[in-house]
Amino acid sequence: MLGSMTRRLFLVGTDTSVGKTAVAAALLRRARAEGLRVLPFKPASSSGDDPERLLAAAALDPKLLDRVAPLRYEAPLAPGIAEDPRPFISVRDPSTSETPTAASEHSASDERLARIAADLRTLETDLHADLTIIEGAGGLHVPMPGATWLPQWIEAFAAPVVIVGRLGLGTINHTILTAEALDRSGHRAIGFVLSATDAQSDPSTVHNPQIIALRSGLPCLGILGHGADLIDLRADAWARLLGAL
């Protein structure tokens, strides 16, 4: 067990549909097999059944849906756009000061994010969670509810970041760019996981993990095979994920 402190991991994708939910579910199953009490958290989701899949992987009561996925939108858009696209498409003159209305909206967004973070702490306490897997939305530069962006949510939840990328052609560029962007935001990842989202054979998958690791300086923590329930973790990866390394 991890003791009284709940370990958190925040999964950030290199794009949408790269297997974040599948990886989160696989990590939840692995943690349960290790005897840990697990908790999934999807703070903002758009369309689909990702939160339900995470609850099932954690073997938790479906009635917890509203608590593990507090902000859900029907439109297949970035959560912030699904909620209200106007803050992301309006143009503000940088030479002018922020209007009182904009300042008020910013304060309200901060308060809501703080409230969601507090609700997560309460949920972790209620369930005596040892490990919480937080799944982001899309990639790193994703509009989030309340005119925020995903790095603000990483900061609010104070969770180590794991990058999830697609195991296939193009992932070298996408994964390294995500790692560099995280570094600039002050949230260096602890490693990356690649997920096989395509059943077809791809010769690039043989060398991608090693190339990304050498270029980014981040360890490849594991590979999730196409349609697999369990993740193939590399040596020492589980200890790193649990904060033992």
Q: What is the pLDDT of residue 114?
A: 94
Q: What is the pLDDT of residue 36?
A: 96
Assigned CATH for 7-89+98-241 = 3.40.50.300
Give me 104's structure tokens. Answer: 């008020």
Given phi > 0 = left and psi -120 to 50 = alpha, else beta, which region is 39?
Answer: beta
Question: Average of pLDDT values for 114-135?
Answer: 96
At 102, is the pLDDT very low, low, confident or very high (cuts 50, 70, 90)? low
Q: What is the pLDDT of residue 48?
A: 85
Of 29-33, 68-72, 104-108, 137-141, where does mean pLDDT reach its minimum?
Answer: 104-108
Record the pTM.
0.91
Question: Average of pLDDT values for 43-67?
Answer: 95
Residue of 30, 37, 42, 187 marked catalytic:
42
Q: Domain boundaries in the chain?
A: 7-89+98-241
Averaged pLDDT of the chain? 91
Q: What is the pLDDT of residue 107?
A: 77
Closest listed residue to residue 52, CA positions, set 37, 44, 40: 40
Annotation marks residue 42 as catalytic? yes
What CA–CA distance (Å, rounded) separates 226 from 200? 9
